[in-house]
Amino acid sequence: MTAPSKANIHPTIVPMGKLPPLGVLPEKMHAWVIRPERFGEPEQAMQLEEMPLWDIGPDEVIVQVMAAGINYNAIWAGLGEPVNILKSHGLPFHIAGSDASGVVWKVGSKVRNWKVGDEVIIHCNHLVEAGTSDLQTIWGYETPDGSFAQFTRAQGQQLLPKPKDLSWEEAASYGLVYFTAHRMLIDRAELQPGEDVLVWGGGGGLGVFGIQLCKAAGARAIAVVSSEEKAELARELGAYGVINRKDFPNLQYYPDETPEQKKARFADMKAFGKKIWEILGEKKSVEVVFEHVGQRTFPASVWLASKYGRVVICGATTGFELTFDVRHLWMSQKRIIGSHFADADSAGRANKLVQQGLVKPVLTETFAWKDIAKAHAKMHANEVYGTIAALVGAPRPGLKNFEETLAVMNEGA
Ligand SMILES: NC(=O)c1ccc[n+]([C@@H]2O[C@H](COP(=O)([O-])OP(=O)(O)OC[C@H]3O[C@@H](n4cnc5c(N)ncnc54)[C@H](OP(=O)(O)O)[C@@H]3O)[C@@H](O)[C@H]2O)c1
């Protein structure tokens, strides 16, 4: 990974809400920066700094960021947990942000399909060596050049067309979570029409797309949520049934549980299973469990999956060390399937569903540039639902293309 260039292309830094001429790069940019000496909660770890622009290689591009999606990656990077992710790129600082919409500002000599001025979104599957390897790293998490900055660096293969009908912030909001959910259900769990799926966190970033994908695939989603607000959202998105997990408080697993707590957990797991029967109108369970909660729910997920069922997992918000009774797995011949983001092909197929209007972004809150760290703190406190995004270069919400955006910027000049 190379350090940012100090090459003096343009002498100034451009204020937020303004742009240099198309294709011209300033010397420096405004960025939210994480440094190891301030690892901690988002508002401590992420600070505004002026940073030099990035150099690009032949397969890379610079994108002027209009809006950036907020997801867990900057939270983990800022905490320095479960790993110090700066060690993966070796620089003493980190610009997070694994979702963006914006305008291509510079292209490397080998980039064929994109040109300066194209309106794009960026998927975060960054190849270790573009074109020669399918080993993936996550852009804006394992790489230091993410989207919480005026300009970001990505590989040409990471670009996808921005759906024209969406605003910059809507377009920036869905990539990481939606492409992950699509990969989990469609490619990894090989979801079939007529199957039933338990979607944990049905009102969360992954969950809102898990529900929509089930519907699009002809499957039925049972969404698990913790509030009436999220339940309503899940129903609106097409969930066949909704379960409020607060009705089953003992279902959660804690590593230090007592024998009494274990007994109560099994009782709640059985009651939860009965609730699934009630929703489905027959004594059957779900063929697929959509997992990302991790330690608290994993034993229940394995238990609740039907005979030959699949538990597909991509994360562990509540803890990475998972435990479960393996007899439930082997005796009913269930499978646990790991899944991690998506490749360019999978992301491209998923993006077409958005371009066709079959899957819709679920953007519930748009933050100002100055509130990006605050937005992460809110997500870490589980106080958001759907997906959230922040404006970066776009001067106000609702703008859908470069021309319109420039016109608004010029009005305010
Ligand atoms: N590997 C990958 O490529 C990949 C990609 C995207 C995300 N992830 C990971 O997946 C996880 C979820 O991401 P997200 O963007 O969907 O987060 P999110 O928007 O915060 O949603 C997470 C959901 O989990 C539910 N939840 C939290 N604590 C729970 C508990 N104790 N029991 C049951 N449900 C609980 C919450 O729903 P309720 O409180 O309403 O039940 C919440 O809506 C994160 O850990 C993230 O790092 C991995």
Stretch 359-376: mean pLDDT: 98
| Pocket of ligand 1 contains residue 386 by CB under 6 Å | no
Question: Which atom of ligand 1 is the closest one to the Cα of 183?
Answer: 3
CA of 21 to the centre of ligand 1 (A): 40
Q: Position of tokens 């004594």?
A: 283
Residues 300, 269 contacting (CB under 8 angstroms): yes
Instruction: Tell me how far apart the alpha carbons of residues 391 and 259 are, in angstroms, rounded to a whole number.
Output: 50
**pLDDT tier at 182, thresholds 50, 70, 90:** very high
SS3 394: coil
More confident residue, 108 or 9: 108
Residues 74, 376 contacting (CB under 8 angstroms): yes
Beta bridge partners of 338: 313
Residue 275 pLDDT > 70? yes
Q: Whose CA is nearest to atom 45 of ligand 1?
A: 317
Q: Whose CA is nearest to atom 22 of ligand 1?
A: 204
| Pocket of ligand 1 contains residue 297 by CB under 6 Å | yes
- pLDDT for residue 82: 85
CA of 97 to the centre of ligand 1 (A): 17
Amino acid, res. 80 = G
Q: What is the pLDDT of residues 52-95, one digit of tens each?
A: 999 999 999 999 999 999 999 999 999 998 899 999 999 999 99
Q: What is the pLDDT of residues 117-172, one digit of tens each?
A: 999 999 999 998 755 556 789 999 999 999 999 999 999 999 999 999 999 999 99
What's the gap between Cα 277 and its chain centre? 31
pTM attached to this predicted model: 0.93
CA of 135 to the centre of ligand 1 (A): 25
Q: What is the pLDDT of residues 316-335, one digit of tens each?
A: 999 999 999 999 999 999 99
Domains in the chain: ranges and CATH: 28-174+362-411 (3.90.180.10), 177-338 (3.40.50.720)
| Pocket of ligand 1 contains residue 314 by CB under 6 Å | yes
The strand pair at 286-291 and 241-244 is best described as unpaired
CA of 31 to the centre of ligand 1 (A): 26
Average pLDDT over all residues of the chain? 95
Q: Position of tokens 């339940």?
A: 231
| Pocket of ligand 1 contains residue 158 by CB under 6 Å | no
Q: Whose CA is nearest to atom 9 of ligand 1?
A: 315
Residue 350 pLDDT > 70? yes
SS3 349: helix
